[in-house]
Amino acid sequence: MAVQRLYVFPTEVGWMALVVEGPLVRRLVIGHGSRAAALAALDFCCGAVEPDMDHPLIARLQDYSAGAVDDFLDVPVAYGEKSPFAAKVVRHCRRIPAGKTISYGELARRAGSTGAARAVGTVMSKNEIPIIIPCHRVLAAGGRIGGYSAPGGLGTKRRLLELEARASALHG
């Protein structure tokens, strides 16, 4: 097993903590009020080291939170112990373009499981790599905002959606 590296940094949407293992992003927590809160949100012990150098993804996440368009599709992620259904849902979620939203039901359909909207919601609620796996772009039926498990809950989800809508409108 490769060494896990931990990076904690401020952004326009709060403090973030990023955990990478080799080339893979394992975890990202967002929207915290302090460095200590971001670290505490990782809720895991030992094993991760804080290197002296920055990870290239930090600048991209900071730029994104300041309004830059980035789909992060080139960022390799660790899917962990996901079921085949959950892995398929996550792969399809990553393809939702910035500035666009779809419903849980539509994501279920795209993942080949029509009628599994609630199961998709469960997968999204367990997302450990928000923004890079853009679960905030998945809405409840009728365009309702639904839920969001990051700090700030629905307010954070709305903020990310508004940020992307503005950036997409500016950058066409």
Active-site residues: which are they? 135
CA 87 to chain centre: 14
Q: For the chain, how far is it from start to end, CA to CA, in angstroms?
A: 42
Beta-carbon contacts of residue 27 (< 8 Å; ≥ 6 apart): 17, 18, 19, 42, 44, 128, 129
CA distance 93 to 87: 10
Tokens of 1: 């097993």
Categorise residue 44: left if φ over 0, alpha if ψ from -120 to 50, beta otherwise: beta
